[in-house]
Structure 1
Amino acid sequence: MPSLLCLDLGTSAAKAALLDLDGAVHGRASCTYSIRTDPGGTAEQDPQDWLHAARVAITDLLRDHPTPGGLLALGLTGQMQDLVLLPETEPTPPAILYSDTRAVQDAEEIHDWLRQEGISWEEVTGNLQDATSCAAMFRRLTRTAPELVGRARAVVFGPAGHLARALGCGNWCDPTTAAATGLLDARTGAWSAPVARAAGLEEEQLPALITATGQVVGLTGTSAQELLGLPPGLPIVLAPGDAGATTLGIIGLEVGDDYAYLGTSGWIADVTPREGAEDGPVGATQSRAAHRLALASGGDHERDLRISALLAAGAAADWARAALLDGASPAVADAQLAAREAREGRGPTGLLALPSILGERYPVRDAELRAAIIGMGPHTRGIDMYAAVLEGVAQALAQAAGASAPAPEAVGEAPSPLAVTGGGAASEPWLRILADVTGRAVRAIDGTDAALVGCAIAAADALGLDHRIHPLASRPGGLTVAPDPSAARAHAALRAPHRALYTAVAEVRALG
C-alpha cells in the first residue's frame, strides 16, 4: 500500500512517519535541534537546523522502512508563531520563536499605535496580544536590527512554512498558525493591514493563506532531492500548525469536539463556532484568557480552535511530589492516592489548591501569580495536599470545559468521554479526579503520534483520497473512567470558590 510521508517540525525535533491509507504507522524517525536562549528572553533557532533535521529524519525513515508501494505526498506541520525573515539571498537569520519575550516595549507600542487609530488589537485578532506576538517581534527588529529587516523580502511563521518555501512552493501559512501571530483579522480571516503597518510590515511581505484544512502548495522538484532526498513530482501538503494538527489527530475538527492534555503544562482544546461563540472573540476576562485559533472553513460554518492553557499541570504534580511526598515517584504517589481513596472514598479533599507555580495563563493571565493551598487542619497530610494539587489542575480544566454542577441524572452523560492525553493520563487516580471534577467520563489516549496522524488526515483529504485514517480518540482502546455522581456534585459546588481563589491570591500578593 502506498504511504503518506508526514513531517512534524516541533520545538525540539523533526519527527517523520509513514502512514498508509488505513491509518497504520509503518515507521518513525526523528532528529533533534537546539534552542538558543538567554536570561533576557531570547528564544531562537537556526532555520538551517530545521532543514538539516528534516533531511536526517526523512533519510533515516526511508532507509529503515522502504516504501515499495511508493509515496503519495509529503505532509508538513510544525511549531507555530515563529518569526522567520526571508532575505533575497542566504543566509537566513535566526528564527525568533513563540517563547521569545524580548518585544514587551514593542507590543505596547503597537497597542498604542492602533488605539490612536481607534482600533483595538485584541478586538481585531480575537486574542490577548503581548511580546510573543510575531507583530511585536518584527517591530522590535525594526528598532534593534534594521539591517536584517532591510534584507527581508518576506516572512513566514514557522518551520513548516520555511521548508515549503525552501522546496520551491512560495510563501504560505495555514490559518491556525496565522491566528497565533497577532497579525490575522479574526473577523475576516485575512491579514490585518493596520496591524501589519503598526508592526512595520508591508502587506506583500506576508505569506499567502491556505483555505482548506490541508492544501497542496506545490510538487517536489530538484530542491526536494537536494534538501530531503525525495523524488520529484510528489505533492507537498501544508497541514494546520501543530495545535491544529494535534487536535485533528486526536479528536477531529468538528464543532463540539474537545480533549484535555496533561503534560508539563496542561490545556483543554475544543472546537467552537466562530460566530455566536461564547462572549465573542474577546469577551469576559476568563474567555479572553483562552487562545482562539482559526481553523479552515468547515462546510457552512467558520470554526475556531479554543485552547485554554495552564502553565503547570504535570509540572505542578512534579513539584508537589518533591515538596510534599519526599520526592516520591509518580507510581509511588499513585499508590498512596489509591490507598487514600480506599480509606476515604472519592470526593473533594476539603482543600483548595491553585497549581500556578509558574504564573498562570488560564483562567487568568497573570505571570506573577503563584500557587496556594488553603484549608489545612491538624489531620492534613502530604498525600492530602498532593491530591488537592491534582484537584486544582482538574478544577482549572473544568473551568475551561465550561463544566457546572451536574444534575444527578446527568452526570457522565456527555455524548462521548473527554479524551485525555499527555504523561498525566497514565495516572489512574488523576483520571478519576478529573472525571469527578468535570462530571464527565474521561478516556486515556496515547497521543504520541497525534500531530503526525492529523497531518496525514489533512494530506489525504487535500488529495481527495479514499482513506480510513481516523482520529485517535475514535479508535478502540484506552482506559475509560466514569465520574462518581456524589463526588462530581461535591466538586461542582467548589467551582466558584476555586475560581475566586485566583483573585484572592493575586490581591494578597499585591498587598505584599
Structure 2
Amino acid sequence: MPALLALDLGTSSAKAALLDLEGRTLAGGSAEYPTRRTEGGGTEQDPAHWGRAARESIAQIGPSAHEAAALCLTGQMQDLVLEGAAGAVRPAVLYTDQRAAAEAAQLREDLARDGMDWDHLAGNVQDASSCAAMARRLARHEPAALVSAHGLTFGPAGHLAHRLGAGLWCDATTAATTGLLEARTRSWSPAVARAAGLEAALLPRLTGALGEVVGRTGDSARDLLGLPAGIPLVLAPGDAGAAALGITGPAPGQDHASLGTSGWIASIRPAAPGTPPHGASHRLALGPGTELHISAVLAAGAAAAWARRAYLADLDATAADALLEAREREHGRGPTGLLVLPSLGGERFPVRDDTLRGAVLGLDAATGPRDLYAATLEGVAHALSHALDPADAGQVLPVVGGGAASAPWRRILADVTGRPVLHADSTDATLRGAALAGAEALGLDHRIAPLAAQGGELTAPDPSAAAAHAALRPAHRRLYATVAGAMR
C-alpha cells in the first residue's frame, strides 16, 4: 500500500510521519531548531536549520521514507524568506517579529493616499507582523540583502520546496497571512507589493487547491533530506490550515482549539469575499469556496513553559501536571481566584497590541507557585474562550497541540469554555492534514479521516466550575484594556 511522507516545519521543530492510506501512522520522527531573538522585538531562524531538522526527523523514520508516494509539506506561516541561488540570503524573519511597526504604519498611509484600505484589501487587520511591512523594513535597513534575493517564500514549507527544485510556491493559506494577498481575488496585490518595495517577479506562484503537486524532488534531495529524486512534492496549506484539515476535515463546521507554542480557536467556514476584517481574528483562504477563521493568542504553550520556569523551578510538564493534580484534589475544580493575561510579547487576540505584556491580578498572601501556574493555564483558556460563541456551549471542542497532552489543562479548558473537550490521542493533526491534502492532490483512494471523527478522550466541563469561569470572562476581557492603559 502506498504511504505518504508528511513533514511539518513548525515554530520550534520539524516533525515527520509516514502514513498509509488508511490513515495509520507507520513511523515518525522530530528534531528541534533554535530561534534567535534580537533587540527591538526581532525573531529569526536560519533556514539551514530547517533543512537539517527535516533531514534528522525523516532519518528517524528509516528507509521506508524513501518509498513514499509523495512528500507533503506544511509549516509555520507568515515568515519572510529571501531566496538566493544557494539558499536563503539571510535568516528568515518570523511571524512573531515586531520590528516593522513603523513600516506597517507607513504602508497603511501610502495605500490610503491611493484610496486603498490595506486591511479591507487583505481581508485582515495588518500590523508589524505583515510580511509586506517586514520587506519594507529590510529595504530600509538591509537593502543589499533584498537586492540579492532571487525570490521570496513565506515559510519553511515553501523554502524547502524551492530548495528541492520545485521553484517558488506559496499555498493560499500562508499567502493570506502576508498582507500581500488580495482577499477578494486570492491573487498578489501589485499595489501592496509596490508599497513594500517589492518587484512582482519576486513573489511565488500560488496554489489553487487544498494541496497541490508543485514538482518532484530533484538531485538536491539526497543531500538536503536523504531522499531520492523523483518523489512528488505536495504543498499543503500552512500549519493552521493543515491542522484544521487533520482535526475536522475540509467541510465547514466545527470549532477546534490548539495548545501549541502559540494557541488558537479555528473553524472552516464558507468563503465570504469582500467581507470587512473581523477585528483581531484572521480569515485565511483555504480550499476553493472555503476559508479558515482563526483567533490566535501568541503564547499558549510558550506561556505554560515560561510559568514552569518562573514559578516551578523549571519543572517539566509531567511533574507540573502532578502538582496540578494534587492542587485539584485539595481544592476541587474551579477558578484559582487569579486573572492572568498570558501576553508575554505583544498579542494577536482578543486584541491586536504589539506592546501588550502579561499581567497577574488577585495575588494574596496565600498564593503559591502552583496557584500561579494553574492561573497561567486558566489565562490561556480564557484568552481562547473569547473567540467562542456562547450559543455553541454544548458543541464538542477538539483540542490538539503539545499542551493538549496535559489532562489538568484539558479540564481547565473544558471548565473555562463550558464545552466538552475532545483529545484524540493519535497522529499529530497537522501532519495528518498534510497527508490528507497530499492524498487528495494525487487523486489516491484513501481513508484518512480527521481526528474528530475517530473519537478520543472526552473531558466534560464541571458545571459549578464552568459557571464560575463564565462569571469571570467579562472581567478577563476588560483586563486587556486595563493593562494596556496602565502600561501607556
1:183 paired with 2:196, answer: no
**Unmatched runs of 5 consecutive residues or more in structure 1:** none
Aligned partners of 2:424 and 2:455 also within 8 Å:
no
Aligned partners of 1:394 and 1:434 also within 8 Å:
yes
Q: How many residues align?
A: 484
Q: Deviations over 1:327-377 (max 9, x none)?
A: 7741342233322444xxx44455544333544322112344344444567
Match of 1:445 among 424, 429, 439: 424
TM-score by length of 1: 0.84
Farther-moved stretch of structure 1 (78-87 vs 175-184)? 78-87
Q: Match of 2:323, as an amino acid?
A: A
Q: Deviations over 1:439-494 (max 9, x none)?
A: 211122347622221111010011111111122232233x2111233443443333
Describe the shift of the 1:115–1:20 C-alpha distance in structure 2 as closer, same or farther (beyond 3 A): same
In structure 2, the residue matched to 1:397 is: 384
Q: Match of 1:403, as an amino acid?
A: P
Q: Distance in 2 between matches of 1:385 and 1:347?
A: 14
Describe the shift of the 1:385–1:171 C-alpha distance in structure 2 as closer, same or farther (beyond 3 A): closer
In structure 2, the residue matched to 1:282 is: 277
Describe the shift of the 1:318–1:147 C-alpha distance in structure 2 as closer, same or farther (beyond 3 A): closer
Match of 1:165 among 137, 162, 165: 162
Q: Match of 1:96, as an amino acid?
A: A
Describe the shift of the 1:193–1:432 C-alpha distance in structure 2 as closer, same or farther (beyond 3 A): same
Q: CA deviation at 1:264?
A: 4.4
Aligned partners of 2:236 and 2:437 also within 8 Å:
yes
Q: Distance in 2 between matches of 1:46 and 1:317?
A: 25
In structure 1, the residue matched to 2:3 is: 3
Which has the greater radius of gyration? 1
Aligned partners of 2:90 and 2:145 also within 8 Å:
no
Q: Match of 1:312, as an amino acid?
A: A
| 1:231-380 map, 5 Å | 231-275=228-272, 280-283=275-278, 288-297=279-288, 302-317=289-304, 329-342=319-332, 346-349=333-336, 351-374=338-361
Aligned partners of 1:354 and 1:371 also within 8 Å:
yes
Aligned partners of 1:421 and 1:447 also within 8 Å:
no
Secondary structure at 1:443 match in 2: strand
In structure 2, the residue matched to 1:50 is: 50
Q: Distance in 2 between matches of 1:314 and 1:162?
A: 26
Aligned partners of 1:425 and 1:445 also within 8 Å:
no
Aligned partners of 2:2 and 2:68 also within 8 Å:
yes
Aligned partners of 1:4 and 1:20 also within 8 Å:
yes
User: Identity over the aligned pairs, expressed in percent?
Assistant: 55
Secondary structure at 1:494 match in 2: helix
Describe the shift of the 1:401–1:253 C-alpha distance in structure 2 as closer, same or farther (beyond 3 A): farther
Aligned partners of 2:312 and 2:320 also within 8 Å:
no
1:22 paired with 2:19, answer: no
Match of 2:142 among 140, 145, 155: 145
Q: Match of 1:211, as an amino acid?
A: G
In structure 2, the residue matched to 1:219 is: 216
**Unmatched runs of 5 consecutive residues or more in structure 2:** none
Match of 2:411 among 429, 432, 451: 432
Q: CA deviation at 1:240?
A: 0.9
Q: Match of 1:499, as an amino acid?
A: R
Q: Distance in 2 between matches of 1:116 and 1:458?
A: 41
Aligned partners of 2:122 and 2:176 also within 8 Å:
yes
Q: Match of 2:92, as an amino acid?
A: I
Q: Distance in 2 between matches of 1:317 and 1:48?
A: 29
| 1:497-508 map, 5 Å | 497-508=475-486
TM-score by length of 2: 0.88
Q: Distance in 1 between matches of 2:183 and 2:273?
A: 13
Q: Match of 1:4, as an amino acid?
A: L
Q: Distance in 2 between matches of 1:320 and 1:218?
A: 44
Q: CA deviation at 1:121?
A: 1.3
Aligned partners of 1:293 and 1:304 also within 8 Å:
yes
Q: CA deviation at 1:319?
A: 5.5
Secondary structure at 1:163 match in 2: helix
Q: Distance in 1 between matches of 2:59 and 2:382?
A: 45
Match of 1:96 among 92, 99, 117: 92
Aligned partners of 2:246 and 2:429 also within 8 Å:
yes
Secondary structure at 2:175 match in 1: helix
Q: Match of 1:193, as an amino acid?
A: P
Describe the shift of the 1:206–1:271 C-alpha distance in structure 2 as closer, same or farther (beyond 3 A): same
Aligned partners of 1:422 and 1:447 also within 8 Å:
no
In structure 2, the residue matched to 1:474 is: 453
Q: Match of 2:284, as an amino acid?
A: L
Q: Deviations over 1:304-334 (max 9, x none)?
A: 2222222333454456567667877413422
Aligned partners of 2:46 and 2:92 also within 8 Å:
no
Q: CA deviation at 1:117?
A: 0.8
Q: Match of 2:483, as an amino acid?
A: V
Q: CA deviation at 1:210?
A: 0.6
Describe the shift of the 1:184–1:339 C-alpha distance in structure 2 as closer, same or farther (beyond 3 A): same
Secondary structure at 1:504 match in 2: helix
Q: Match of 1:480, as an amino acid?
A: L
- TM-align CA RMSD: 3.1
Q: Match of 1:295, as an amino acid?
A: L
